[in-house]
Each structure stands twice: as structure tokens, then as C-alpha cells.
């Protein structure tokens, strides 16, 4: 019996579409740009162990150690605040070079410090460099990434922060073995941080400039070349260019290689007025989401765990310095492994489900850790099951954080702001992130002495619970949307995002359908 021709013609419609390969050039750009985040990660990781030897060398009190460890986060505010304007002025790429040069100077100053004041000055210089790197890496990566893999690529900065933390932990353990580590070990730990900044400053010069920054400079021809190489197809490159031109106020029919852009559009005049004084409902919602996710990322206690993990393990019953530093290496390994898992899930599962699952795991682990530490505090003898539970819950906490809250904070905040507001809006989120981290880092030892170490983690669990409610009720799904489509998801987001999900299914695969469904569930 002959087959029906109509049926034969329809068969290709049922073929499973081939999986789109990731754009290798965009992947390389994101990889190189995100290396700047190693600077912050290394400093966080290395200071957790170096502080043990610095305290003995300079005979410092716990309060001075708290300030030394946490003050870099406040110093980084200067860098992140300046980075927004700097990146609009000299470009995203050269701003990364500025970050590397400043951190290089800070690392050398800390390594050669002769007293506490000298060391604090080195922390100040390094902090400014960290602030620059924190702001610019996610912005550049988001702007160079195609929508199909933006979640994967913009999670790279968090991956490199974790890689830096692991390197810092390994450095602590390695240099603690040298003769006289109290006098020399911590200097090598801090000073060796200058090495990755040199490498970063060199490799950045081989990267292209952000296509969105090029358009804001009127360099349409250069922007098109970059978009051709970082998009999944020529058609997508033209669509991205059209979207950026529209956002920058350039007529769509203008196809000159170079056009004149007003200073206002180029250098961001009026941005703060649109962000803070007279925001639209959509921009106000974006700002709340961008600042809120950065606040809760740090307020839930991650830096307290990472910076003071040797203290936590000491309270749990591990007394040997080598064993404490080795246990922190385990924390770094787990943190890095789970952040790698998260990078492959962001564009498959979506931001909201991964974030909510991550925070739920954090709540459970923080609560259990608080209970175990409370048992140890109220027992004179060593309770082995509680010690094992403490270590397990620290590892579970960093794993839960790394699979969602860690990377999604940077992905989400870098992709939701409109083009004109992106640099300054992202810098505000980073500022809140660093202030919150700095306050917690500089008060954790005093906090746990005031309310017990178990009580401190119960407090972090309560903050994480509030964070889960905030994320569930406030953050719309952004998976599969182009950067220029983001503003339409915000404002009255339950209604708008559902409509956007129905209207827009091209370019983001089935992200629009998933978006509508996700927001329908959250209504």
C-alpha cells in the first residue's frame, strides 16, 4: 500500500531538532572576562587561613582581625561605584585591565606589610581592584552572550570566584608548611595573589569589546563584527544589533559603520535620575529585584562560613591548624564542584526553580548546623555525631549556595537592567552585596560571642527563609529572553511576563512557554 504523499511531506515536522552547539567564541570571551573574579575569590579564601598567622605575628585582637578580614568588602565599594562610569567611558575591556593593575598593587603591598596599618592600606588598594572586577565581569559577559546560553556564560564569574576561593585555601595549606609560617607564610599567601592579576591584564587585550558599548560609541560596524562572532546565527546577530540600536536611540534604518551619538547617551547622564528619582514601574521593580537578590545572597551568611570556616571547625572540635586548613580545602572543592553543576542547569531548568531549590537547601543546612553547634556548646565532652554533622552541614550549605544562590545572583542582576541603566544599576547591586558582606564579615566573631555560634546560624537560617519568600513573590523568570526584552517582564510582572511568554517563543526556544507556566504557578 503506497504511503500518503501528504503524510510523507509532514514527517520532517516530527523530526527532533538538533541541539544547538554553544558559540565557542562567546564561550572564550566569557571565560577570559570572568577570570577577573578570581581576584575576589582568592582574597576571600586566602584571608581565612592567613588571618590565623597574622593574628599571632602582629598580636592582634579578634576585633582587629574581624576588621582586617571584612574591610575589603567596604573598600571594594569605591571600585564598584567607579567602575560603572569608567566602563561607560573607556569600555568594558579596559576596565578589566584597570581592575587587574589595582589588585596587583594591593597584593604586593599586603605581602610586604610591616605592621597592621600598612596591611590595612594594602587591603584598601586590593579592595578597589576587587570592586572594579566584581562589577565589570558579569556586565561584559551578559552583553557578549547570545540569549540561548547567557545563563551558562554569565554564571562564569561565580565559577571563578569559587575557583579563586579554592586556590586561596590550597595556598593557605601549602604555605603553612614552610618554615616559620607565622612570620613568612602569610606574606606568601597574600603576595602570590599578584600573579593571576598579571595574567588577567594580558589576556584581556585579546578580547573584543562589548557590542553594546560599541553601539553606544556609535561604532556600529565594529559592533556588528563582534555580534556576528558571538551569535548563534547571522540572523540572530542582526536581531541583536537591531535591539541594541533601538535601546540606544539609533534609527533602525541607519546602517553606517560610524554614527554620531550624543554625550548623554554615551556617558550615562540622567541615568541616576531614571534609576532612583523618577523610575518607571518596570525599572523600580528591576531595581528592587537587583538589589534584593544581592542583599540576600550575603545576608544569608555565605561569607561568614567561607571566611571563618577554620573557626567553625575549631568550635566543632577540630583543634589542629593543619586539619582545620585541610577541612577548608574540602569546603572549597565542594563549592567549586557544585558551581560547575549549576552552570549547566541555568539554561535548562531556569533561574527561579534553581534559586528556590538552592535557598531551601540553605535553610535546612543552616538550621541543622545551628542545632549541632548548640549541642556541642552545651556538652563538656566531644560529641562525635555532632562534629560529623557540623562538617556535613557546612559542606551541604556551600553546595546548596553554589548550585543556585551563588551564580544566579550575578546572572540575574547583570541581565535585567535596560542597556542605558545596566552599568550603574549593576554597580548598585554590587555595592549592596559588598556592604552586606563587609558588615557580616566584620561582626561575625562578635555576633557569635553575643548570641552563641549556634544562634548566629539560626539567625542566618531566618534570613534565608525571608529570602525564599522574596524570591518566590518578586522575581520573574528570565530564561531564554534577550537583554532588550527584559524590561517587559517587570512592573506588574505576573501579568506582563505571562503575556510575554505567550507572545515570544522565538530565539529563546521554549523559554517563553516555560516562563508563562512558571509565573502562572507563582501567581
The enclosing domain of 482 has a CATH number of 1.20.1250.20
Whether 356 and 296 map to the same domain: the answer is: yes
For the chain, count helices (H), then strands (E). Answer: 26, 0
Q: What is the 3-state secondary structure (H, E, C) of 371-440?
A: HHHHHHHCCCCCCHHHHHHHHHHHHHHHHHHHHHHHHHHHHHHHHHCCHHHHHHHHHHHHHHHHHHHHHH
Residue 16 banded pLDDT, cuts 50, 70, 90? very low
pLDDT greater at residue 112 or residue 10: 112
Res 12 pLDDT > 60: no
Alpha carbons 197 and 187: distance in angstroms, whole number? 17
Res 209 pLDDT > 80: yes
pLDDT at 498: 39
Whether 230 and 289 map to the same domain: the answer is: no
Residue 410 domain-assigned (yes or no) = yes
Res 520 pLDDT > 60: no
Highest mean pLDDT: which of 228-237, 460-469, 512-521? 460-469
184-188, 226-230, 379-383: which range is least confident on average?
379-383
Res 477 pLDDT > 70: yes
Res 489 pLDDT > 60: yes
Alpha carbons 490 and 486: distance in angstroms, whole number? 7
Whether 236 and 299 map to the same domain: the answer is: no
Alpha carbons 141 and 211: distance in angstroms, whole number? 11
Res 364 pLDDT > 90: yes
Whether 387 and 455 map to the same domain: the answer is: yes
pLDDT at 81: 79
pLDDT at 361: 96
Whether 249 and 339 map to the same domain: the answer is: no
| Ramachandran bin of 270, using left for φ above 0, alpha for ψ from -120 to 50, beta for the remaining angles | left
Alpha carbons 336 and 330: distance in angstroms, whole number? 10
311: its cell numbers: 573557626
Question: How many Cβ atoms are within 10 Å of 131's Cβ, its own excluded?
Answer: 30
Q: Is 270 exposed, middle or buried (0-12, 13-18, 19+ CB in 10 A)?
A: middle
pLDDT at 20: 54
Residue 400 domain-assigned (yes or no) = yes
Whether 99 and 236 map to the same domain: the answer is: yes
Alpha carbons 38 and 30: distance in angstroms, whole number? 13
pLDDT at 502: 41
pLDDT at 138: 79
Residue 419 banded pLDDT, cuts 50, 70, 90? confident
When pLDDT is averaged across residues 71-89 and rounded to a whole number, the result is 85
- What sign results for the dihedral spanned by CA atoms 316, 321, 323, 327? positive
**CA–centroid distance for 160 within its chain:** 9
Res 396 pLDDT > 70: yes
Question: At which of 229, 259, 289 does a domain end?
Answer: 259
Residue 405 banded pLDDT, cuts 50, 70, 90? very high
Please indicate, yes or no, whether the overall pTM of this predicted structure exceeds 0.75: no
When pLDDT is averaged across residues 143-149 and rounded to a whole number, the result is 82
413: its cell numbers: 542582576
Res 95 pLDDT > 60: yes
pLDDT at 292: 95
Residue 523 domain-assigned (yes or no) = no
pLDDT greater at residue 465 or residue 486: 465
Helix ranges (DSSP H) in 115-233: 116-144, 150-154, 156-175, 186-191, 194-203, 211-216, 220-230
CA dihedral 104, 108, 110, 115 (to 10 degrees): -150
pLDDT at 397: 95
CA distances from 448 to 146, 198, 485 (A): 45, 39, 45
Q: With contact defined as beta carbons under 8 Å apart, do 85 and 66 qualify?
A: no
Res 368 pLDDT > 90: yes
DSSP for 303-356 reads HHHHHTHHHHHHHHT---HHHHHHHHHHHHHHHHHHHHHHHHHHHHH-HHHHHH
Whether 283 and 190 map to the same domain: the answer is: no
When pLDDT is averaged across residues 40-55 and rounded to a whole number, the result is 85
The string of pLDDT tens digits covering residues 103-115 is 999 999 999 999 9
Whether 447 and 325 map to the same domain: the answer is: yes
Whether 45 and 173 map to the same domain: the answer is: yes
When pLDDT is averaged across residues 329-356 and rounded to a whole number, the result is 85
pLDDT at 206: 86
Whether 311 and 203 map to the same domain: the answer is: no
Q: With contact defined as beta carbons under 8 Å apart, do 129 and 79 qualify?
A: yes
pLDDT at 22: 64
Residue 217 domain-assigned (yes or no) = yes
pLDDT at 317: 75
When pLDDT is averaged across residues 273-279 and rounded to a whole number, the result is 81
When pLDDT is averaged across residues 262-285 and rounded to a whole number, the result is 72
Angle among Cα 80, 85, 89 to the nearest 5 degrees reads: 135
Residue 102 banded pLDDT, cuts 50, 70, 90? very high
When pLDDT is averaged across residues 132-146 and rounded to a whole number, the result is 84
Write out the H or E segment, with its range, that includes residue 514. Answer: helix 511-522
Residue 318 domain-assigned (yes or no) = yes
Eight-class DSSP state of 47: H
pLDDT at 506: 41
Residue 8 domain-assigned (yes or no) = no
Domain that holds residue 249: 23-259
Residue 181 domain-assigned (yes or no) = yes
Domain count, the chain: 2
Eight-class DSSP state of 218: T
Question: At which of 226, 259, 292 does a domain end?
Answer: 259
pLDDT at 173: 84
pLDDT at 161: 82
161-170, 318-327, 351-360: which range is least confident on average?
318-327
Secondary structure of residue 219 in the 3-state scheme: coil
Whether 212 and 291 map to the same domain: the answer is: no
Whether 332 and 368 map to the same domain: the answer is: yes
pLDDT at 318: 76
Res 511 pLDDT > 70: no
Which residue in 44, 43, 62, 39 sits closest to 52, CA to CA? Answer: 62
Average pLDDT along the chain: 81
Amino acid at each position: 500500500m503506497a504511503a500518503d504523499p501528504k503524510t510523507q511531506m509532514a514527517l520532517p515536522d516530527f523530526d527532533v531538532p538538533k541541539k544547538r552547539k554553544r558559540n565557542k567564541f562567546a564561550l572564550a570571551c566569557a571565560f577570559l572576562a570572568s577570570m577577573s573574579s578570581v581576584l575576589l575569590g582568592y582574597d576571600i579564601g586566602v584571608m581565612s587561613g592567613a588571618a590565623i598567622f597574622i593574628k599571632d605575628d602582629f598580636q592582634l585582637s579578634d576585633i582587629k582581625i574581624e576588621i582586617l578580614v571584612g574591610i575589603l568588602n567596604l573598600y571594594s565599594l569605591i571600585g564598584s561605584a567607579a567602575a560603572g562610569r569608567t566602563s561607560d567611558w573607556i569600555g568594558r575591556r579596559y576596565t578589566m585591565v584597570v581592575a587587574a593593575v589595582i589588585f596587583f598593587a594591593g597584593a604586593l603591598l599586603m605581602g610586604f606589610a610591616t605592621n597592621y596599618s600598612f596591611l590595612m592600606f594594602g587591603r584598601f588598594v586590593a579592595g578597589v581592584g576587587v570592586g572594579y572586577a566584581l562589577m565589570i565581569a558579569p556586565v561584559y559577559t551578559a552583553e557578549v552572550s547570545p540569549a540561548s546560553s547567557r545563563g551558562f556564560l554569565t554564571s562564569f564569574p561565580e565559577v571563578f570566584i569559587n575557583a579563586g576561593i579554592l586556590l586561596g585555601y590550597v595556598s593557605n595549606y601549602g604555605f603553612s608548611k614552610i618554615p616559620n609560617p607565622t612570620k613568612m607564610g602569610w606574606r606568601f599567601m597574600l603576595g602570590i595573589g599578584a600573579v593571576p592579576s598579571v595574567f588577567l591584564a594580558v589576556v584581556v587585550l585579546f578580547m573584543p569589546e562589548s557590542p553594546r558599548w560599541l553601539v553606544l560609541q556609535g561604532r556600529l560596524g565594529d559592533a556588528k563584527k563582534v555580534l556576528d562572532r558571538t551569535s548563534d546565527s547571522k540572523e540572530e546577530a542582526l536581531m541583536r544589533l537591531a535591539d541594541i540600536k533601538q535601546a540606544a536611540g539609533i534609527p533602525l534604518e541607519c546602517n553606517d559603520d560610524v554614527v554620531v551619538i550624543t554625550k548623554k547617551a554615551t556617558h550615562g547622564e540622567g541615568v541616576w535620575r531614571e534609576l532612583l528619582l523618577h523610575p518607571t514601574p518596570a525599572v523600580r521593580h528591576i531595581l528592587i529585584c537587583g538589589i534584593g537578590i544581592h542583599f540576600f545572597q550575603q545576608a544569608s551568611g555565605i561569607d561568614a562560613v567561607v571566611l571563618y570556616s577554620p573557626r567553625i571547625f575549631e568550635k566543632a572540635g577540630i583543634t589542629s591548624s593543619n586539619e582545620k586548613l585541610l577541612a577548608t580545602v574540602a569546603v572549597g572543592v565542594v563549592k567549586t564542584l557544585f558551581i560547575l553543576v549549576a552552570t549547566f542547569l541555568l539554561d535548562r531548568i531556569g533561574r527561579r526553580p534553581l534559586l528556590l531549590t538552592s535557598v531551601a537547601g540553605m535553610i535546612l543546612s543552616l538550621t541543622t548546623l545551628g542545632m549541632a553547634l548548640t549541642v556541642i556548646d552545651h556538652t563538656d565532652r566531644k560529641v562525635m555525631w555532632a562534629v560529623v554533622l557540623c562538617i556535613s552541614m557546612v559542606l551541604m550549605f556551600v553546595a546548596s549556595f553554589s548550585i543556585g544562590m551563588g551564580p544566579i545572583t550575578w546572572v540575574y542582576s547583570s541581565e535585567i537592567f535596560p542597556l542605558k541603566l545596566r552599568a550603574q544599576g549593576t554597580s548598585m547591586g554590587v555595592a549592596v552585596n559588598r556592604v552586606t558582606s563587609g558588615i557580616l564579615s566584620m561582626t561575625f566573631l562578635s555576633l557569635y560571642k553575643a548570641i552563641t555560634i549556634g544562634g548566629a546560624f539560626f539567625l542566618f537560617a531566618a534570613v534565608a527563609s525571608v529570602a525564599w519568600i522574596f524570591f518566590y513573590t518578586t522575581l520573574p523568570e528570565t530564561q531564554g529572553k534577550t537583554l532588550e526584552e527584559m524590561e517587559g517582564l517587570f512592573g506588574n510582572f505576573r501579568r506582563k511576563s505571562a503575556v510575554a511568554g505567550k507572545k515570544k517563543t522565538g530565539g529563546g526556544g521554549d523559554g517563553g512557554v516555560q516562563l508563562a507556566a512558571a509565573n502562572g504557578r507563582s501567581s
